[in-house]
A and B are shown apart, each in its own frame.
Chain A
Amino acid sequence: MTRSRKDYPLAETQPDAVTGPRGKRLSEITLDAVLDGSVSMEDLRITPEALRAQGEIARDAGRPTLAQNFQRAAELVNVPQDVIMEVYELLRPGRAKSKAQLLAAAERLRVEYGASGIADFIREAAETYEARGLFTFRF
């Protein structure tokens, strides 16, 4: 089912369809549940499904680039924080010393996390950095 503007906001139109990564529904995330320990930080994370749904809504609202960002984000949900920070660091100017280094990072995301959209995006960055001389040492 493709979502549209009519489904927005999801938390109000389809509260039961909105869940955390461990399947906790919105209605189950109550203060009492937090207090008795049955809800933790892990239950308060967005899921790839929710991001894809928001992407569909964004596309329907005429915002294809925002939809693509949500698509990339959906791929990153399960990428651990340190890997994200590593890749971000590598994308900054002069961090990667060669195109190959970036391409390797792209492949890792594709293979280990199924993040093929992100991988393509990093490949595109690698081509640009090569063309613009951004693999130069900066500090």
Chain B
Amino acid sequence: MNTVNRWKRYADWDERPLRLDRFAAEDAVNGFSAFASPADPKPGIGIAHGRVISMDGVLERDFDMIDRFIARHHIDVAVAEEAMALDSAQVARMLVDMNVPREDLVRLAHGMTPAKLAQCVSHLNALEIAFAYSKMRARKTPGNQAHVTNAKDDPLQLAADAATAVAFGFDEIETTMRVSRNAWSNALACAVGGAVGRWGTLFQCSSEEAEELRIGMAGFSSYAETVSVYGTEKTFVDGDDTPWSKAFLAAAYASRGIKMRCTSGAGAELLMGFHEAKSLLYLEARCLCLQRGMGVQGTQNGGIDGAPLTSTVPGGFRELMAENLIAVWLDLECASGNDARATESEIRVGAKIMPYLVAGSDLICSGFGSILKYDNSFNPSLLNGEELEDYLVLQRDFEADGGLTPLPEEKALDIRRRAIDAVSAVFEELGLSSPSEAMKQSVTVASGSDDTQSYTPRDVAFISEAIKDKGITVIHVIRALAKRGFREEAENLLNLVKLRLSGDYLQTSAMIRNGHIVSAVNDPNDYLGPGSGYRVSPERRQEIVTIRDVLDQKEVLRSEAMHEREEGTRIRYRAAGEAEPSADPQDVVIGISPAFGLKLFQTTAGHRLSDVLRTLVEAIRARGLSPRVVRFRHTADTSFLGLSAARLAGSGIGIGIQAKGTAVIHQRDRLPHNNLELFSNAPITQLVHYRGLGANAAAYALGEMPEPIVVPQRGEAMGSRYHARVAMIFAIETGMTEEGAAPELVDVTFTGGKP
């Protein structure tokens, strides 16, 4: 729509990615309400003879299966009456009170009903929720999880991308398939790739429940998290499970020594059509109480597949944070969502991740798309391979540990190739396939599967079914690796499977760091105010800040030195004694800065200073005036350079120009910062603008009123692009200033070709 009766700004806004997001009206009756609905029950509990006889306004005989499970397995009757009697606003204040220890609040949560938990966190604003989350999360050290998938189910790429994810520091990697038959191939490839470089990255292969458990039993995967629970009975049944069947599965996973967490998130019940007109948060509180009751160590929570829907309602992002807070308050490990891409707006993406980045989380994303968006078989994540560097920089900006470490470019290829060679060796040893060198090479350098000439999903199906049919286990893979010289990878993989024996990693919030278990048991969050809880150590800070391609003064000087020799062939500056004021009305002074042409040789736009100076000189001469070049050393400031030049000039008009190209036209009787024309955006100032600058200076000297030169900018973030360099360059200028230094006349000879 673009009619004359429309403010065109709306048309501009229509074109922004944000407008691809579709927002929903708040409508509690139809389930579209984040925090509160008239249908939400008031918190309450009745206990008789050590038994819950009513909960959140429902009598025991009317309990649905979720109420029954929560009443029997979550509610601690020894705490319930005390906890439920507390004023919810008071509890909310305790959540953000750094003097109230985490364990006191966890104890109270054991006696709270879903409605009570939801009511308490509803009192908190977004900042308070983030703070409370930081205080209440179970494990002290934050971590992160990656998605590793691709559009072809190509095992070579899975191995390479798994190894890359490990190198970036992800604590867990999760794969899934385009074609469900390919599960075994995906599992083997990621297990091998994930063993490159170090050991301890936990791995899961998200597939059909029974198949996933079988893959786990074959030793390929080390955890599972797709055991979903729901907040209404009908949704649960449509999900083809009950709290008891899921709790049974949880015990089954533990009995196989495999770590497990459940999944739940706001919006699932709404998407599946049975929301009972309850708010998103209340339903999610039910899910979380269920999970604690089931005895799972943790949850993948925070919208998850329902996050995009939750993000359509007012307060949606805040709700996702609030449900994560309930999860950690219930003492569950929290893989805190930030996975399904809830928006097309990069600003909303950045805003969504920020509270988690600064608060920390057991697994900030569940997971982060370590691959490109189109390769993500779960659907794009909030953050993806495209944006991974942005995230690394956010860590650096806020000195916050988001769980990742920059990977130097020169290491990436070696790691990828090693993983590809390792999985190829396993394929060959086990008679599964023999990938060609061309396939391997294409995958090594590929950013995504569009770039590869490798396996197709059909090829993979044969490999995958062979792995399954031959009964190949991780033991066969370990032997194959060792036999083919991948001993380190074989050891790494064995170490991961050995975790099963002790079951240490089945405890809450367990991950592996530097070969050791780190969990809520031996690394409990002990936040009690500044100086406590998780702090980025000096060593860890060094890892975080070491992003690629940073500028330092050495680099600036190196770059200038490259230009010095060339400028030597194009221009000669000869000092010709102290510059005196002139009375000649044709005299226009060009005041150059201390380092101009001596230590610095190009403007920030990349123009040679010889070209710039020659352009100015010729433009002044073209009006029949006499330009005089004077070097000032008492100042490096553009305004003062210009004013000082104007005061020496017989015409009263002077130009001030710094080596970086910032320039000004000044007049003798004006105040320093009240110039005639300023050329402040040196990075976009072209020779044509300098020509106009010279011509206008001449015109002022002739008493004319020229059209000021406007250097057009298109809103570039000039400061972000140039200011680091500018500040380093300017320090070189100011380093050469000398208080009270006299102006110096410079004879300039141009010895090169015309610019």
Contact = CB atoms under 8 A, between A and B. Distances in A.
Interface of A: 5, 8-12, 18-20, 26, 29-31, 34-35, 39-41, 44-47, 50-51, 53-54, 57-58, 61-70, 72-77, 79, 81, 84-85, 87-88, 91-94, 118, 121-122, 124-125, 128-129, 131-132, 134, 138
Contacts of A72: 247-248, 251, 254, 295
A134 B255 contact: no
B503 A46 contact: yes
B241 A93 contact: yes
Contacts of A76: 251-252, 254-255
A29 B501 contact: yes
Contact of B254 (A31, A39, A62, A70): A70
A132 B502 CA distance: 39
Contacts of B617: none
Nearest to B249: A88
Nearest to A65: B295
Contacts of B478: 31, 34
Given A91-B245, A134-B237, A69 B251 contact: yes
7 contacts: A41-B473, A63-B297, A66-B507, A68-B295, A124-B72, A128-B69, A134-B242
Chain B interface size range = 35 or more
A86 to B, nearest CB: 10
B247 A121 contact: yes
B648 interface: no
B252 A57 contact: no
Nearest to B107: A62
Nearest to B471: A41
A132 B65 contact: yes
Given A5-B521, A76-B251, A132-B65, A34 B494 contact: yes
Contacts of B501: 11, 18-20, 26, 29, 44-47, 50
Nearest to B491: A31
Contacts of B295: 65-70, 72
Q: Is the interface of A mostly helix, strand, loop or mixed?
A: helix
Given A12-B516, A35-B479, A57 B242 contact: no
A9 B245 contact: no
Contacts of A65: 73-74, 292-295
Contacts of B103: 62
A57 B251 contact: no
Contacts of A73: 251-255
Interface in B442-486: 473-475, 478-479, 482-483
Contact of A45 (B69, B213, B500): B500
B245 A88 contact: yes
Given A8-B522, A93-B237, A26 B502 contact: yes
Contacts of B520: 61
A118 B295 CA distance: 13
Contacts of B214: 81
A41 B219 contact: yes
Interface in B205-226: 209-210, 213-214, 217-219
A46 B255 contact: yes
Contacts of B253: 73
B106 A62 contact: yes
A54 B244 contact: no
Contact of A44 (B106, B240, B498, B504): B498
B255 A9 contact: no
Contacts of B494: 29-31, 34
Interface in B280-297: 292-297
Given A54-B504, A88-B252, 7 more contacts: A46-B256, A51-B503, A63-B297, A84-B255, A132-B65, A134-B242, A138-B240
B68 A128 contact: yes
Given A46-B501, A67-B295, A51 B331 contact: no
Contacts of B521: 5, 8-9, 57, 61
Contacts of B500: 44-46
Interface string B242-276: 10110111111111110000000000000000000
B294 A84 contact: no
A124 B376 CA distance: 41
A51 B257 CA distance: 8
Interface in B188-241: 209-210, 213-214, 217-219, 233, 236-237, 240-241
B425 to A, nearest CB: 15
A81 B105 CA distance: 39
Contacts of A46: 254-257, 500-503
Nearest to B69: A128
A51 B72 contact: no
B107 A92 contact: no
A107 B250 CA distance: 20
B506 interface: yes
B487 interface: yes
Nearest to A29: B498
Nearest to A47: B501
Contacts of A35: 479, 482-483
B173 to A, nearest CB: 20
Question: Which of B218, B502, B516 has its CB near the most chain A CB atoms (within 10 A)?
Answer: B502
B289 to A, nearest CB: 10
B324 interface: no
B36 to A, nearest CB: 27
Contacts of A93: 236-237, 240-242, 245
